[in-house]
Every structure is written in C-alpha cells, then in structure tokens.
Amino acid sequence: PQDVGILALEIYFPAQYVEQNELEEFDGVSQGKYTIGLGQQKMGFCSDREDINSLCLTVVQRLMERNQVSYQDVGRLEVGTETVIDKSKSVKTVLMQLFEDSGNTSIEGVDTTNACYGGTSALFNSLNWIESSAWDGRYAIVVAGDIAVYATGNARCTGGAGAVAMLLGSHAPLVFDRGLRSTHMQHVYDFYKPDMSSEYPVVDGKLSIQCYLGALDRCYQTYCQKAEACLKQENLGSHFSLDSSAFFAFHTPYCKLVQKSLARLMLNDFLRDPDAGANPKYSGLEAVRGVKLEDTYFDRDVEKAVMVASQSLYKEKTEPTLSVAKQVGNMYTPSLYGGLASILGSYSCSELAGKRVTLFSYGSGLASSMFSLHFSEDASPGSQLERVCLSLCDLQERLDSRKKMPPADFDKMMKLREETHHKAPYTPVGDVEALFPGTWYLTEVDSKHRRKYERK
Ligand code: ACO
C-alpha cells in the first residue's frame, strides 16, 4: 500500500479544568511556578463519571461519526493506555460494543501498555499491519487515552486527561516516513505504578527528566543517521538538522520540558556539526563546544545558552504543537498526538502541504521512539488534507467552551476518585450535565465489578 498514514484524527478532553495560577495559590507554591516554571495554563480533569473505557468510547464514536466511517470497514482497533482498571479485560473489548450493530467482530488488536508510550506502540503495530501480508484492505484505528492523576504534592499540577483516536490506512494525507524510526529502551524506575489499588504513580521527577532527555538524545542521533541515509539516496544533501523538519512535536509532561527538548536537539546539532563554529545560527554556543551530552542534563549554563539560541526555532517549529498540552495538561499516551492535533488546528491545509513533522514519544520505565510524517502536497478544496484540517479547526473553540472549576472542587474530586477507585458496587455521583454532548459516562459498577455506560 502507498502513503500509509493518518486519514482522520479525533481528540477528546474533559469538559472541566482548573486554572494553573489558581492552583499555585491553592497549593501554596510561589506564584509562577506552574505557569512560568512549568509552562502550564490549565489542567483538564475527570469526575467519577469518566474512566478509561468511557474516554475511549467517546473518542472512537466521535471519530466514526464525524468522518462517516462504516463500522464494517475497520479491520484493526488497538488501544494504548496506562490507565488500567482491569488486569485482564482490555479497553479494546469494551469498544467492541460500538461495533455490535454492524455485526463486525473481525477486528484485530488489543491493548498495549508502557506508561506514555502505549499509544505509539499501538500506532507502530497498526502501521506494520497495514504494510504486512495480514492486511485485508480495511482501516486500522489507534486509540490513545489516559487519566493522568498524581498524589498531592509537586507532581499533581502535571496531570491531565484525554483521548485521541486516529484512523489509519493507505493514500493518507498524513504519511509516515518509511524507514525513519529510531528507538531507545531501557530498564529504569523513573515513574511506575506498582500499587494496584491506586490510580497514582510512584514518580522520581528528577530522574524522569534525566531519562527523558537522555532518551531524546539517543533517539535523535539514530533518527539523524537514518534520515541522512535517505537524504543521500534521494540526492538531497546529507545532513539532517532542525532545519530539515517544519515541526518538532514531543511527548509533553509539561510545556517547559518540551522547550528544553527542542533546545536539546539544537545542542545535538551543534555538537555533531564540524562546521558549526562558522555558522551564525549557533552564535552564543561557542562556550558549549566540547561538552559531553550526558554531563549536561541539569547544567544551567548549557541549558541557558541553548534555550536562547533556539528561541526563534522553538516559536516556529514547536510552540504550535503545544496548544492542547498547555490547556489540558499531560494526557500521557495521547500527549504527543495532541501535539499533532494542535498543529492541524492551528494552520490551513495549504500552509501544511508538503511539510514534515518529527515526533518524539517517551514512556517512563522506559520506552522511547522518534519518527516522522509529512503532509500530502495536495491541499486543494475537497482534498483529504483539507478535510483533516477542517475537522480540527474548532479545537480552540472546544477548549474555550470548557467549564472552569475552583481548585477546591478539583481537590475534592481527586479525593472522591481516591476513595471510590475500584469500589464495587458503586454508583458514580459526578454531574452528567457537566459533560460535553456525545460523551460516554459511567452509570454503574455492579458487585462483580462490571461497568455500565450511557452516552449523553
Ligand atoms: N516562577 C517561575 N518559575 C518558577 C517559580 C516561580 N515562582 N518557582 C519555580 N520555578 C521553576 C523552577 O526554576 C523550575 O524550572 P527549571 O527547572 O527550568 O529551573 C520549574 O519551575 C519547576 O520547579 P521545580 O522546583 O524543579 O519543581 P518540582 O521539583 O517541585 O517539580 C516536576 C517539577 C519534577 C516536573 C514534578 O512536577 C513532577 O515530578 N512531575 C511528574 C513527572 C514528570 O512529568 N516527568 C517528566 C517526564 S516523565 C512523564 O511524562 C510522566
């Protein structure tokens, strides 16, 4: 199949949020810590009416309806999540409810879990399926969804919640670059969820940042090597750098780390370019020449120099990927794909045509990959690229239509979720009126832990 990639993309986030500057005051931290220090504006959160099943039901049905896809035309459906409410039964099997009326039960794929990386693994599996002998010509759907919540303390403000669903197939307007995947995996305890009775992770914040930046270096180096081999083949020169892609999107635990990540790629570019000294784009970095990447994760001087040098590239290539992350928070598995939605929601299709997006996916523990896609050249009226862009042009409007909740209510809701997590039987008490129309919500958990849902 030709041009394998994304035909349509749908995003769902909860209809309520807490303002980060109000949360600063509520938490008693210094003003600016969450908003300037971490770069976050708002954080979406769910009541006890929503769980991972309902988030994924909502986003998949929205994808199907808004793109008028027939349930019979789907041959693979796969979910990436780290929000586990059942150790055996996958979210995918719950989603099969949506396919019941169509009679289509012939759908491959189950769930994939490793922190924020599950969605990417599900995506790779589905792309591989389409490129394999097992493919029967039908669509694949990849869903990434999570409810990201932390115990009270310094990590709580980096939560979020949401889901992204992607329709994959051939002749797509967002085409994945073949042969351009790099991966770094490693055993480390930076963030993990050993307590089966709690929604909260055990997290070593500083170690997780170091692991993230280290994984980014490793993936970028291999990605550059592979990209350069391709460029040579196509006689396009032989050097890959930040200039070679229009956008760089990253898994986004919080937005400041992403700005540091783009800066980090510039540091990589500078260190691997023998002619860097003569190049004005690296001015200000002379003192950094010769540093070892692994010595610089928390080096303030190096960080400051590359943050300044990469400022304008950040504004051009990465800031446009952050509108969802800034306003919803870290959604875990969908975070990176929220970056893609942000791009599609911010530009017209003619501005995007032919451009490339390089993506970095990171899941603690750890699993990480860098890969890329490009938009089709055809942005004419009625083109597939136009359809994808139009489907996301109301993204900011949807974000703005959410309801702001006081931090005290957010705190109460977190306590309620804590107390009732895994309780059976249980009847949720959260306000159904507060949900967006079309949202699936939990109506009951019976004494055997079986969950029932309805759609608003
Ligand atoms: N005004 C402006 N900036 C401020 C202020 C202020 N009043 N106060 C603090 N800051 C800055 C700090 O200088 C720091 O920025 P810098 O690192 O660029 O210097 C930033 O705000 C954060 O402050 P810290 O004191 O470092 O924050 P803390 O240690 O309390 O927690 C952390 C931050 C580690 C990110 C925590 O929220 C956390 O553990 N989050 C979850 C883990 C995470 O997201 N890891 C990332 C990758 S793994 C993943 O995706 C889950």
pLDDT in tens, 188-235: 999 999 998 999 999 999 999 999 999 999 999 999 999 999 877 776
CA distance 381 to 395: 21
Cβ 356 vs Cβ 372: under 8 Å: yes
The whole-number pLDDT of residue 275 equals: 85
pTM: 0.98
User: Whose C-alpha lies nearest to ligand 1, atom 9?
Assistant: 33
Indicate which atom in ligand 1 lies nearest the CA of residue 30. Answer: 7
CA distances (Å), 36 to each of 24, 96, 408, in order? Answer: 11, 43, 22
Cβ 220 vs Cβ 370: under 8 Å: yes
Evaluate: CB of 155 within 6 angstroms of ligand 1.
yes
Cβ 24 vs Cβ 34: under 8 Å: yes
Strand pairing partners for 163? 12, 145
- Mean pLDDT over 310-330 rounds to 98
User: Whose C-alpha lies nearest to ligand 1, atom 36?
Assistant: 155
Peptide bond preceding 425 in cis form (omega within 30 of 0): yes
Catalytic residue among 24, 50, 211, 251: 251
Cβ 357 vs Cβ 247: under 8 Å: yes
**What percentage of the chain exceeds 90 in pLDDT?**
94
Q: What share of the chain is helix, strand, coil (3-state, %, to 5)?
A: 45, 20, 35
- Mean pLDDT over 295-323 rounds to 97
DSSP state of 359: E
pLDDT exceeds 80 at position 455:
yes
pLDDT exceeds 90 at position 182:
yes
- Mean pLDDT over 399-410 rounds to 98
Q: pLDDT tens, 80-126?
A: 999 999 999 999 999 999 999 999 999 999 999 999 999 999 999 99
- Mean pLDDT over 290-312 rounds to 96
DSSP string, 182-238: EEEE----SEE---TT-SPPEE-HHHHHHHHHHHHHHHHHHHHHHHHHHHHHTTS-S
Evaluate: CB of 364 within 6 angstroms of ligand 1.
yes
- Mean pLDDT over 270-297 rounds to 91
**What percentage of the chain exceeds 70 in pLDDT?**
99
User: Whose C-alpha lies nearest to ligand 1, atom 51?
Assistant: 253
Alpha helices in 310-431, H assignment, sequence order: 311-317, 323-328, 335-346, 349-352, 384-391, 395-400, 407-420
Cβ 354 vs Cβ 373: under 8 Å: no
Catalytic residue among 82, 108, 199, 386: 82
Counting ligand 1 atoms within 8 A of each CB, the residue from 38, 193, 368 with the most, and so the one to mutate, is: 38
> What residue type is 99 in one-letter code?
F
Evaluate: CB of 31 within 6 angstroms of ligand 1.
yes
The whole-number pLDDT of residue 399 equals: 98
251 is known as an active-site residue: yes
Using the mean position of ligand 1's atoms as its centre, give its distance from the Cα of residue 249 in Å. Answer: 20
Evaluate: CB of 203 within 6 angstroms of ligand 1.
yes
Using the mean position of ligand 1's atoms as its centre, give its distance from the Cα of residue 33 in Å. Answer: 8
The model's confidence at residue 236, banded by pLDDT at 50, 70 and 90, is low
Query: For residues 280 and 63, which has the higher predicted lDDT (pLDDT)?
Result: 63
Closest CA to 261 of 339, 187, 204: 339
